[in-house]
Structure 1
Amino acid sequence: MNFTRTRHTARSQRNNKIANIAFYTLGALVMLLIFWLLFTILSKGLPSLRPDFLIKQPEEIDAGGGIGPVLFNSFYILFISLLISIPIGIGAGIYMAEYAPDNRFTGALRICVESLSSVPSIVFGLLGLAIFAEYFNVGLTILGGGVSLALLNLPMLARVTEEAVRAVPGEIREAGYALGMTKFHVIRKVVLPVAMPAIVTGVCLVAGRAFGESAVIILTAGLSTSGEMWDFNLFSPGETLAVHLWYVQSEAIVEDARQIADKSAAVLVFVVLLINFMFRFPLWLGRRRGR
Structure 2
Amino acid sequence: MSPKKIDKIATGVLWLAALIILGILVWFLVYILGRGLPYLNIQFLTGSDGVGAQLFNSFYILFLSLLFSLPIGVGAGIYLAEYAPQNKLTDLIRLSTESLASVPSIVFGLFGMIIFVNKLGLGFSILGGSATLALLNLPILVRVTEDSLRAVPSSYREASLALGATMWQTIRKVILPTALPGIVTGVTLVAGRALGETAILIFTAGMNVSRHLFDTNPMAAGETLAVHLFAVKSNPLPGTNADAIANGTAALLIIMVLIFNIILALPSRWLQKRLLGKNE
Shared fold (TM-score, shorter chain, > 0.5): yes
Letter of the 1:52 counterpart: Q
- Return the alpha-carbon distance in structure 1 between the equivalents of residues 88 and 279 of structure 2: 42
- 1:56 deviates by 2.6
- Return the alpha-carbon distance in structure 1 between the equivalents of residues 68 and 3 of structure 2: 52
Residue 71 of structure 1: which of 45, 55, 58 is its match? 55
Residue aligned with 2:213, SS: coil
The more displaced of 128-137 and 214-223 is 128-137
Letter of the 1:78 counterpart: L
- 1:48 deviates by 2.6
Q: Deviations over 1:89-141 (max 9, x none)?
A: 10010011011110011011100000000100111111111112211222110
Residue 261 of structure 1: which of 225, 241, 246 is its match? 246
- 1:226 deviates by 2.3
- Return the alpha-carbon distance in structure 2 between the equivalents of residues 208 and 83 of structure 1: 15
Which residue in the other structure is 1:5 paired with? none
- 1:285 deviates by 3.9
- 1:55 deviates by 2.3
Q: Which has the larger radius of gyration?
A: 1
Which residue in the other structure is 1:87 paired with? 71
State whether structure 2 residue 45 is matched by structure 1 residue 54: yes
Structure 1's unaligned 5+ residue stretches are: 1-9, 58-64
State whether structure 2 residue 160 is matched by structure 1 residue 176: yes
- 1:81 deviates by 0.2
The answer as to whether partners of 2:181 and 2:269 remain within 8 angstroms in 1 is: no
The more displaced of 230-239 and 277-286 is 277-286
Which residue in the other structure is 2:264 paired with? 279
Structure 2 counterparts to residues 234-273 of structure 1, below 5 A: 234-253=218-237, 254-273=239-258
The more displaced of 160-169 and 136-145 is 136-145
Which residue in the other structure is 1:140 paired with? 124
State whether structure 2 residue 22 is matched by structure 1 residue 37: no
Which residue in the other structure is 1:60 paired with? none
Structure 2 counterparts to residues 104-253 of structure 1, below 5 A: 104-253=88-237
Identical-residue share of aligned pairs (%):
50
- 1:290 deviates by 4.3
- Return the alpha-carbon distance in structure 1 between the equivalents of residues 249 and 14 of structure 2: 35
- Return the alpha-carbon distance in structure 2 between the equivalents of residues 98 and 277 of structure 1: 30
- Return the alpha-carbon distance in structure 2 between the equivalents of residues 268 and 148 of structure 1: 21
State whether structure 2 residue 2 is matched by structure 1 residue 11: yes
- 1:250 deviates by 1.2
- Return the alpha-carbon distance in structure 2 between the equivalents of residues 186 and 72 of structure 1: 39
Computed over aligned residues only, the root mean square deviation of the Cα atoms, in angstroms, reads 1.4
- 1:196 deviates by 0.1
- Return the alpha-carbon distance in structure 2 between the equivalents of residues 173 and 99 of structure 1: 13
Letter of the 1:135 counterpart: K
- 1:52 deviates by 2.5
- Return the alpha-carbon distance in structure 1 between the equivalents of residues 263 and 142 of structure 2: 21
Letter of the 2:245 counterpart: I
Letter of the 1:70 counterpart: Q
TM-score normalised per structure 1: 0.91
- Return the alpha-carbon distance in structure 1 between the equivalents of residues 46 and 259 of structure 2: 19
Q: Deviations over 1:30-72 (max 9, x none)?
A: 1001111111111111123112212233xxxxxxx21011111
- Return the alpha-carbon distance in structure 2 between the equivalents of residues 283 and 233 of structure 1: 30
Letter of the 1:222 counterpart: G
- 1:189 deviates by 0.3
- Return the alpha-carbon distance in structure 1 between the equivalents of residues 260 and 172 of structure 2: 25
TM-score normalised per structure 2: 0.95
Q: Deviations over 1:254-278 (max 9, x none)?
A: 4311000000000101111111101
